[in-house]
Chain A
Amino acid sequence: MTNANFEPVIIGFTCNWCSYRAADMAGTARMKYAPNVRLIRLMCSGRLDPTFIFKALSGGADGVLISGCHPGDCHYIDQNYKALRRFHLTRRVLIQMGMEPGRLKLLWASASEGAIFAAEINKFVEEIRQLGPLNWKIPGELTDIPTQKSQVEVPA
């Protein structure tokens, strides 16, 4: 598969309350985004077991999106912070395993942010398109991967 006709497949995990609703809202408002993402609904981003990410990547996904309520807005008080922790942890594990950390994205989207949700998906699809198909290298072979903590920080 060459990069030219490469269509990435992205698995997106959304929480039931904010980000799945943002997806619903994007739909109701007919906001267009790239068809490369397949969403899986969880009750909370805190339900995200890092195993799901590895399962998705090992099963054929090129990128994984985690999406939840904004910090402070969690339906379950503060469980999205647990997702935030796991996101950072998993990104580091990805690096250690020889995968680009950019294949994992965290997106906070409230129920009213359909437009942001759609725009961020488009952005992520393009980022993954740039990275190309998941090509799991032997650890150590991977060059040009950021390893400094500051370089793998998430956007606010």
Chain B
Amino acid sequence: MTERIGVYVCHCGTNIAGVVNVAEVSEWAGKELAQNGVVISRDYKFMCSSLGQELIQKDIQEMGLTRVVVAACSPHLHEATFRTACKNAGLNPYLCELVSIREQDSWVHTDKEAATYKAKAIISGGVARVAHHESLEPLRVPIHPDTLVVGGGIAGIQAALEIADAGFHVYLVEREPSIGGHMAQFDKTFPTLDCSACILTPKMVQVGNHPNITLLTWSEVTKVEGYVGSFAVTINKKARFVNTDLCTGCGICWEKCPKKVLDEVFEAGLGNRKAVYTPFPQAVPKYPVIDAPNCTFFIKGTCKACEKFCPPGAIDFNQKDEQITIPVGNIILATGYDLFDVKRIPQYGYGRLENVFTSLEFERLSNAAGPTSGNIVLRDGKTVPKTVAIVHCVGSRDQNYNPYCSAICCMQSLKFAHLVHERTGAEVYNFYIDIRTPSKGYEEFYNRLLEEGTNFVRGKVAEVSNVARVPAEEGKLVIQVEDTLIGRQRRIPVDMVILSAGLQSRQDSKEVAKLFGISCSADNWFIERHPKLDPVATMTDGIYIAGCVQGPKDIPASVVQGAAAAARVLGKIQQKEISLEPVRASINEEQCSGCRICNDLCPFNAILFHEDKVVSEVNPALCQGCGTCVAACPAGAISGTGFSNDQILSQITGVLLLRVNEPGFVQQ
């Protein structure tokens, strides 16, 4: 054995030492694994501390260690730390191996003896494996300075502006005809009651005018290829049927368009738009789109009113979808959320009882630019409600629907209560499970509502019905609820019910995650790299997430995340180059028989076949290092760095070392 291996067993305070007898493990490794090349084995309270790292570095330099095994936490947490420590001591960073005795041992087992035994086994595997590690150099690839931001809500807008302001180019892709997202639909924002449009539209205009932003609305990403630093993204620019070079956004086309269409998206089904439209007056860009499935010309072949009246002649019925492919170095996903479909809770009567509204409908109802010009009225369009019920947690914190808290509904409901109170003077009842106001100024807003005289009833609403039991309930909607503070069932007659619907992941979030190669949680929110310390990066290098796509959050938090994701991207762009894990496959030409089995296995087309030499070759720039070809090569001609056959087979033997030494074990 020529390698000189050092083993370092971390206590991680009591995280590991509380279950695993680290001193025993360390002593065992020093003694029993000496024949496998271990020359020193130590345990220390916190290996990741600078003192712990110095311990390793000192040994590398003084004892001439050629390999290092650190038995501590998951490599996904501290592999980089210990690799850097090795590098600083003059050892190639890839000659270090992490053994997870915390996530895979002390944290998941209770039997101390068994956990200690397992720690020894997996450290033995790490020692056997590390002997076969090779000195590697990270692959350096250039980073394309352009960035793609997907989703033009407030998180995406913030991210795009931060990067563009820093002097780098951004492509902002939005599926709808205008950017603005959900925030553009709101009237007021909690807790300051700022006018939502007044604070959002200046940012939208900035995006529209920014020399560093290419705005692609009415567009969707259809394909993503490549990797961090050099993605090639294909975007489908849906036909607008409007020539944006000529269009001035004057609005004559939608004035003249004879076709009224119920606006299910922006007006939440409360108002109409035309077949040629911009979703709202402050839309950015100002250019309308023609909604082909609803346009009379596309249905019947006649009309063309918009074309006739368009002063610059910008209407173009022959426009086709256009595919463009752009190179970008980094991608930020800010695709937002969907509202919980309140019809899934039939006992709340939405769709059956006409004066039951969703939260988004109420936003439009209370919006001065909305279908009622901001008048809070019942579905008939004129009656002002005298009593209003606001139901919290609709579809959230409910095992039947979404178990999580949607984070924004309490404050949103308080805002609604305030607006109803202020504009109609109606009696307002808020039905809540718990009031959650954990942010700056939020609790104060709640107190203000209490002072305004809003009624708060603690209890989950059982049913909203229109069946009267007493004369006072005639013609009213009746809320049936258990008031848990007084321990009694109550029936409260009201004129209007607002269901404060929770947030859920986009319907197509799974497909989007797949498109970009990232993971979803059980609730289909995108998973961040680390829930606390890396909340905007994903496990896929170069792909970042911001806003509600990561989980329910309010506007300030979305803005923060948008800016944070931008800062991460800017940091990467500034580096100009990025190091990639040198985990790549390579083919030994001498051993390759030219059978071409590997050729079809590679999903990245990284393996090319030389017809002349009758051998295959891996293009390291395209290879992603999955190792499937390595496993499949019948000649054993393909080797994979970092996960070679030698490394894995030795690790298998290593982890079974204790087993084969057990008394009574019969070798098969």
| CA A29 to CA B520, docked complex, whole Å | 18
Given the complex, which residues of B lie within 8 Å of A76, measured CB to CB? 603-604, 624, 626, 628
Give the residue name and chain of the B residue nearest to A38 (CB): B655
Q: Is the CB of A72 within 8 A of B514?
A: yes
B296 CB–A CB distance under 8 Å: no
Number of A-B contacts (CB under 8 A): 162
Given the complex, which residues of A lie within 8 Å of B100, measured CB to CB? 23-24, 27, 39
| CA A75 to CA B653, docked complex, whole Å | 28
Out of B76, B125, B624, which one reaches A24, CB within 8 Å?
B76
What interface size band does chain B fall in?
35 or more
Given the complex, which residues of A lie within 8 Å of B514, measured CB to CB? 72-73
Out of B111, B627, B653, which one reaches A47, CB within 8 Å?
B627
Given the complex, which residues of B lie within 8 Å of A118, measured CB to CB? 108
Out of A18, A39, A50, which one reaches B104, CB within 8 Å?
A39
- Whether A46 contacts B522 in the complex (CB less than 8 A), given A28-B107, A35-B111, A76-B603, comes out as no
Given the complex, which residues of A lie within 8 Å of B655, measured CB to CB? 11, 38, 40
- Whether A55 contacts B603 in the complex (CB less than 8 A), given A46-B626, A76-B624, comes out as no
Given the complex, which residues of B lie within 8 Å of A56, measured CB to CB? 652, 656
B632 CB–A CB distance under 8 Å: yes
Q: How far is the CB of B353 from chain A (nearest CB, A)?
A: 37
Q: Is the CB of A57 within 8 A of B668?
A: yes
Q: Is the CB of B74 within 8 A of A82?
A: no
| CA A17 to CA B517, docked complex, whole Å | 11
Give the residue name and chain of the A residue nearest to B631 (CB): A49
Q: How far is the CB of A72 from chain B (nearest CB, A)?
A: 7
A110 CB–B CB distance under 8 Å: yes
Out of A1, A33, A59, which one reaches B652, CB within 8 Å?
A59
- B23-49 interface code vs A (CB 8 A; 1 in, 0 out): 000000000000000000000000000
Q: Is the CB of A43 within 8 A of B626?
A: yes
Which residues B521-540 have CB closer than 8 A to chain A? 521-522, 527, 539-540
- A11-47 interface code vs B (CB 8 A; 1 in, 0 out): 1000001101101101110111101001111111011
Out of B75, B519, B632, which one reaches A112, CB within 8 Å?
B519
Give the residue name and chain of the B residue nearest to A85 (CB): B632
Q: Is the CB of B519 within 8 A of A30?
A: no
Which residues B598-643 have CB closer than 8 A to chain A? 601, 603-604, 624-628, 630-632, 640, 642-643
Given the complex, which residues of B lie within 8 Å of A136, measured CB to CB? 668
A58 CB–B CB distance under 8 Å: yes
Given the complex, which residues of A lie within 8 Å of B539, measured CB to CB? 17, 21, 75, 111
Out of A9, A48, A73, A86, which one reaches B519, CB within 8 Å?
A73
- B79-111 interface code vs A (CB 8 A; 1 in, 0 out): 000000000000000000000101111011111
Give the residue name and chain of the A residue nearest to B106 (CB): A27
Given the complex, which residues of A lie within 8 Å of B110, measured CB to CB? 32
Given the complex, which residues of A lie within 8 Å of B102, measured CB to CB? 27
Q: Identify which of B61-69, B113-121, B338-346, B479-487 touches chain A.
A: B113-121
Give the residue name and chain of the A residue nearest to B107 (CB): A27
Q: Is the CB of B626 within 8 A of A59?
A: no
Q: Is the CB of A111 within 8 A of B660?
A: no
Which residues A73-131 have CB closer than 8 A to chain B? 73, 75-79, 82, 86, 110-113, 118
| CA A47 to CA B111, docked complex, whole Å | 33
Q: Is the CB of B643 within 8 A of A35?
A: no
Give the residue name and chain of the A residue nearest to B601 (CB): A82
- Whether A46 contacts B652 in the complex (CB less than 8 A), given A21-B76, A38-B122, A76-B603, comes out as no
A61 CB–B CB distance under 8 Å: yes
Q: Is the CB of B517 within 8 A of A75?
A: yes
Given the complex, which residues of A lie within 8 Å of B665, measured CB to CB? 1, 60
Give the residue name and chain of the A residue nearest to B117 (CB): A35
Out of B76, B626, B667, which one reaches A60, CB within 8 Å?
B667
Out of A1, A39, A49, A60, which one reaches B664, CB within 8 Å?
A1
Which 7 pairs of residues, A with B, have the shortest CB-CB distance?
A: A27-B103, A47-B627, A46-B628, A44-B626, A76-B626, A77-B603, A49-B631
Could you list some 16 contacts between A and B, CB below 8 A? Answer: A1-B666, A11-B656, A43-B643, A44-B628, A46-B628, A46-B631, A47-B626, A47-B627, A47-B630, A49-B631, A50-B631, A55-B649, A55-B652, A76-B603, A79-B626, A136-B668
For the A-B complex with A26-B103, A110-B519 known, give 11 more contacts whose Cβ atoms are closer than 8 Å: A26-B108, A32-B110, A35-B118, A38-B121, A42-B627, A46-B631, A77-B604, A79-B603, A82-B632, A111-B519, A133-B666
